[in-house]
């Protein structure tokens, strides 16, 4: 791909910023790495370079010709959540944490996706989280609380967005496994509206084999909750990757003569960082980058009509590259890791310390622990044993001490996460979000207008100006 070749970046930029710069982009990709800050982008690139033995290799997100910086605070706090940050990026308006595309006074806000749909463009939502999760919801739904996911699902059915792919079918179905209390099956509603529907992991092959020859509508949800972390997905390939879903969205939406607007979210970068899971952060960031490459491939054939924007909504975990007095980040220490902390390691320890040590040797490369590492792990196991003796099995919401130390996760799993991170020279300051500024990158029609130091709300406002549409209140 030419965007990854520095010698061709200038010519690509000139082409996209030339005579067609005054025209609204026909194809818009808004791509958000949830929880993806500077450290997450950089460590993933370093890892890729090391794995491939090529110090010049770049992530697509880091090789775009235009780069900017955005601030992320919400209306009521410096440390935003995804609902407020998503609302700012989608509508250009600040709101309080937890609110979906409404201002602090409760007025509904118009997003860039809403405006694109009203303009006649095809629209799509692709994510690795539940479709009804905060970030994608801000582009389609309007709700006072991000937790009202059944109501958000109702908004999706009413929206007539052309393409949905992600997780969270529990908010759309009725019966076993449903989170709905009203007995409604929204999947039937999508079918009645002419959507091709793909529900559950077993539908993945049919989804990938679907090849539209004209404008079609798709609703695809491959998991009850979030899709698997990439590090886990790669072991059984039971669900599509983010890149595969993005490519299918392009294949489906490209037939609209008015073009398309697509929101693509790498949502589980955030979840991995919440759990201080460095390997899973890297793998999900690279998976997000592969989705960006799918967009770039399309851009290469439609340079005069396409705009790609890549941003984060906030940073998660306070990830730092460098630990203590050590001047080295040693990513080779991560090569033995093949499962996620949150989805796979949590709950593995059940009191058998020998069996657990064998497990982390096999899946995390932790065979010979130092005295300090063993003390860290033993302390966490002692806590786990005590909790198990009290029949406490839910790791979320323990004592204040435990929340501060382990973030509401399984103490033993977090001990492994921290040992693994520290061996690689990575540290974490938080189990939550942080208020740090974020990098933004762009390529295509009007991309140069995003190369500034500005607030996240300005991203949506600039995009709306380029698209010749009105957003916000």
pLDDT tens figures, 370-404:
999 999 999 999 988 988 888 876 665 454 445 56
Burial class, 5, CB count within 10 angstroms (exposed 0-12 / middle 13-18 / buried 19+): exposed
- Residues labelled catalytic: 82
Residue 97 DSSP one-character state: T
In a domain, 85, yes or no: yes
Asked whether 102 and 96 are in contact (CB, 8 A), the reply is no
In a domain, 415, yes or no: yes
**Who's near 17: CB < 8 A, 6+ residues apart?**
445, 446, 447, 448
In a domain, 472, yes or no: no
Q: Mean pLDDT across the chain, nearest whole number?
A: 93
pLDDT tens-digit map of 290-311:
999 999 999 999 999 999 999 9
pLDDT tens-digit map of 168-183:
999 999 999 999 999 9
Half-sphere exposure of 68 (CA within 13 A, CB side): 23
Shared domain check, 452 and 414:
no
Shared domain check, 232 and 125:
yes
433 annotated as a binding-site residue:
yes
Q: What is the pLDDT of residue 391?
A: 81
Nearest residue to 70 (alpha-carbon basis) of 472, 459, 462: 459
Distance CA 175, CA 185 (A): 9
382 annotated as a binding-site residue:
no
Q: Give yes or no for residue 8 having a pLDDT over 60.
A: no
302 annotated as a binding-site residue:
no
**Who's near 116: CB < 8 A, 6+ residues apart?**
28, 123, 260, 261, 467, 469
Residue 320: beta bridge partners? 427
Shared domain check, 284 and 370:
no
Shared domain check, 157 and 305:
yes
270 annotated as a binding-site residue:
yes
Domain count, the chain: 2
In a domain, 473, yes or no: no
232 annotated as a binding-site residue:
no
Shared domain check, 302 and 255:
yes
Domain that holds residue 225: 2-319+432-467
Distance CA 323, CA 345 (A): 24
**Range with the poorest average pLDDT among 19-28, 114-123, 184-193, 311-320:** 19-28
Buried b vs exposed e over 173-210: b needs ≥16 C-beta within 10 Å? bbeeebbbeeebebbebbeeeebbbbbbbebbeebeeb
**Who's near 334: CB < 8 A, 6+ residues apart?**
47, 278, 279, 282, 365, 420, 424
In a domain, 64, yes or no: yes
Q: What is the pLDDT of residue 323?
A: 87
Average pLDDT over every residue of 344-360: 96
Give how far the C-alpha of residue 8 lies from the chain's centroid of Cα atoms, to the nearest Å: 29
Q: Give yes or no for residue 147 having a pLDDT over 50.
A: yes
In angstroms, the Cα distances linking 124 to 93, 116, 215, 269 are 22, 10, 13, 21
34 annotated as a binding-site residue:
yes
Q: How confident is residue 4, by pLDDT bands cut at 50, 70 and 90?
A: very low
Q: Give yes or no for residue 14 having a pLDDT over 60.
A: no
Q: Give yes or no for residue 15 having a pLDDT over 70.
A: no
Shared domain check, 335 and 213:
no
Q: How confident is residue 22, by pLDDT bands cut at 50, 70 and 90?
A: low
- Number of residues written out for the chain: 473
Q: What is the pLDDT of residue 404?
A: 63
Q: Give yes or no for residue 72 having a pLDDT over 60.
A: yes
How many other C-beta atoms lie within 10 A of the C-beta of residue 386?
11
Distance CA 369, CA 174 (A): 48
Shared domain check, 330 and 185:
no
In a domain, 341, yes or no: yes
Q: Report pTM.
A: 0.94
Shared domain check, 438 and 405:
no
Asked whether 70 and 311 are in contact (CB, 8 A), the reply is yes
Q: What is the pLDDT of residue 431?
A: 95
- Comparison of pLDDT for 42 and 405, the residue scoring more: 42
Distance CA 25, CA 284 (A): 29
Burial class, 98, CB count within 10 angstroms (exposed 0-12 / middle 13-18 / buried 19+): middle
Tokens of 346: 């949590």
Shared domain check, 28 and 173:
yes
256 annotated as a binding-site residue:
no
363 annotated as a binding-site residue:
no
359 annotated as a binding-site residue:
no
Q: What is the pLDDT of residue 393?
A: 67
The percent of residues in the chain predicted with pLDDT above 90, rounded, is 87
Give how far the C-alpha of residue 423 lies from the chain's centroid of Cα atoms, to the nearest Å: 26
- Residue labelled with tokens 């899946």: 363
Asked whether 77 and 430 are in contact (CB, 8 A), the reply is no
Distance CA 265, CA 164 (A): 12
Shared domain check, 279 and 333:
no
Which CATH number characterizes residue 195's domain?
3.40.720.10
Nearest residue to 163 (alpha-carbon basis) of 107, 128, 125, 114: 125
**Alpha-carbon radius of gyration of the chain:** 22
Shared domain check, 381 and 246:
no
Shared domain check, 330 and 314:
no
Q: What is the pLDDT of residue 345?
A: 97
């Amino acid at each position: 791909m030419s965007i990854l070749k520095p010698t061709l970046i200038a010519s690509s930029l000139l082409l996209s910023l030339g005579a067609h710069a005054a025209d609204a982009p026909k194809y818009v990709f808004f791509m958000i790495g949830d929880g993806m800050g500077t450290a997450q982008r950089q460590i993933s690139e370093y890892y890729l370079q090391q794995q491939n033995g090529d110090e010049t290799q770049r992530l697509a997100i880091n090789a775009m010709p235009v780069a900017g910086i955005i601030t992320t605070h919400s209306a009521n706090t410096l440390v935003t959540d995804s609902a407020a940050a998503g609302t700012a990026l989608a509508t250009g308006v600040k709101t309080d944490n937890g609110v979906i595309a409404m201002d602090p006074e409760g007025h509904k806000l118009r997003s860039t996706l809403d405006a694109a749909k009203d303009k006649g463009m095809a629209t799509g939502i692709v994510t690795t989280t539940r479709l009804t999760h905060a970030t994608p919801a801000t582009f389609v739904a309007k709700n006072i609380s991000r937790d009202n996911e059944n109501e958000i699902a109702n908004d999706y059915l009413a929206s007539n967005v052309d393409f949905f792919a992600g997780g969270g079918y529990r908010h759309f179905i009725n019966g076993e496994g449903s989170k709905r209390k009203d007995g409604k099956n929204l999947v039937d509603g999508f079918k009645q509206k002419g959507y091709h529907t793909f529900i559950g992991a077993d539908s993945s092959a049919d989804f990938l084999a679907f090849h539209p020859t004209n404008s079609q509508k798709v609703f695809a949800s491959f998991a009850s909750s979030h899709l698997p972390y990439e590090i886990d997905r790669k072991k059984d390939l039971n669900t599509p990757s983010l890149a595969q879903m993005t490519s299918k969205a392009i294949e489906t939406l490209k037939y609209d003569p008015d073009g398309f607007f697509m929101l693509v979210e790498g949502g589980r970068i955030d979840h991995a960082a919440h759990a201080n899971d460095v390997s899973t952060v890297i793998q999900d960031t690279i998976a997000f980058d592969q989705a960006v490459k799918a967009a770039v491939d399309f851009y290469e054939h439609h340079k005069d009509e396409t705009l790609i924007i890549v941003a984060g909504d906030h940073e998660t975990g306070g990830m730092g590259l460098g630990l203590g007095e050590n001047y080295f980040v040693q990513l080779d220490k991560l090569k033995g890791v093949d499962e996620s902390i949150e989805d796979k390691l949590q709950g593995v320890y059940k009191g058998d310390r020998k069996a657990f040590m064998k497990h982390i040797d096999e899946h995390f490369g932790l065979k010979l622990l130092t005295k300090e590492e063993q003390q860290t792990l033993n302390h966490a196991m002692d806590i786990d044993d005590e909790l198990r003796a009290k029949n406490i099995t839910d790791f979320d919401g323990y004592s204040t001490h435990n929340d501060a130390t382990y973030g509401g996760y399984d103490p033993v799993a977090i001990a492994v996460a921290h040992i693994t991170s520290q061996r690689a020279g990575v540290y974490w300051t938080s189990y939550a979000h942080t208020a740090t500024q974020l990098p933004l990158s762009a390529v295509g029609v009007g991309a140069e207008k995003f190369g500034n130091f500005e607030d996240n709300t300005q991203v949506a406002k600039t995009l709306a100006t380029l698209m010749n549409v009105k957003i916000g209140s």
